[in-house]
Structure 1
Amino acid sequence: MLWKESFRTSVDLIDAQHQELFQRVTNFLQAIKAEGQWTEKIARVKETLTFMESYVVEHFSDEEVYQQKINYPAYEEHHILHEEFKADVFKYAQKMAEANYSEEIAQEFAGKLLAWLIYHVSKEDQKIGEYARQRGAQ
């Protein structure tokens, strides 16, 4: 799995959800790279898209509720990053459906998904964890 302990924010709910996201992205990447015909992989692509469309909404909502609870000062900026990513996920879902789940677009989505997740968790979400630790919040 692509999860690293350095991604931990020390906020249990957020960390558990991040681990789930990393596991799903890992599974998605493995499915795309696996031997076999692309037509056999389309089910995993659709499954991942469906999961991402719902789970990012749930995770971002939970994370934002937590930010508000601890009065996180960069809440608005963080919320905008979430909204932009949700829009990207929905855009890719539509793009893939229109392109009949082409392998090229699925690979592009996987790369963007992984890059965004690593950057966001390792940089932006770490700021939430640091702020929470400074405040003694959990």
Structure 2
Amino acid sequence: MLWKEKYELGVPLIDEQHKELFQRVEAFMKVLRSSSSWEEKVEQVNETLAFMNAYVVEHFRDEEEYQEKIGYPGSEEHRRIHNDMVNFVLTVTREYESSGYEEQLMQRFAGKLMAWLINHVAAEDQRIAAYAIEKGVAGHD
């Protein structure tokens, strides 16, 4: 699995959401890489896309609420990064639907999604954890 213990922030709700996101994105990649025909894959791909559209918004909201609660000074910048990702997911979804469910678009999207998730959780989100530890508020959610 692509999830690593070092990605944990020590905030149970957010850690569970991150694990769920990693599992979903990993499963998405497996479907896309499988030897099945696109017609066989498209239903699962559409389900994953629908999940991502809903879940990233929910997860980002929870993460932003936690940042506010602990007084994280980088919360505005972090919110901007989240908004950019939400807009990216929405844009790709619209493009995908208007293209008639084009496979290559999903292949590119999956790669970007995975890279973003790892980089964001391993770098940006770790800053929140470091701040929480420094302020003595780690582990609260």
For the aligned pair, the TM-score class normalised by the smaller chain equals over 0.9
Q: How far off its partner does 1:36 sit? A: 1.2
Aligned positions of 1:91-106 closer than 5 A: 91-106=91-106
- 2:71 match: secondary structure: coil
Deviation at 1:102, TM superposition (A): 1.3
**Percentage of matched positions with identical amino acids:** 49
CA distance in 1, matches of 2:53, 2:108: 17
Unaligned runs of 5+ in 1: none
Q: Supply the RMSD in Å over aligned alpha carbons.
A: 0.7
Q: Which runs of 5+ in 2 are unaligned?
A: none
Matched residue, 2:11: 11
State the number of aligned residues. 138
How does the TM-score come out when normalised to structure 1?
0.97
Which deviations, in whole Å up to 9, do the C-alpha atoms of 1:90-121 show, x marking residues without a partner?
00101111111111001011011001001100
SS in 2 for 1:92: helix
- Would you identify which runs of 4 or more consecutive aligned residues in structure 1 move more than 3 Å? none
1:25-53 CA deviation, whole Å, 9 max, x = no partner?
A: 00000001112111110011101110000
Q: Provide the rounded CA distance (Å) in 1 between the counterparts of 2:100 and 2:25.
A: 21
Equivalents in 1 of 2:111, 2:66: separation in Å?
Answer: 28
Asked whether 1:47 is paired with 2:54, we answer: no
Partner of 2:75: 75
Q: CA deviation at 1:9?
A: 1.1
Distance in 2 (alpha carbons) for counterparts of 1:36 and 1:69: 46
Looking at structure 2, the residues matched to 26 and 101 of structure 1 have their Cα atoms a distance apart, in angstroms, of 20
Secondary structure of the corresponding residue to residue 32 of structure 2: helix
Correspondence for 1:20: 20
Larger CA deviation: 4-13 vs 86-95: 4-13
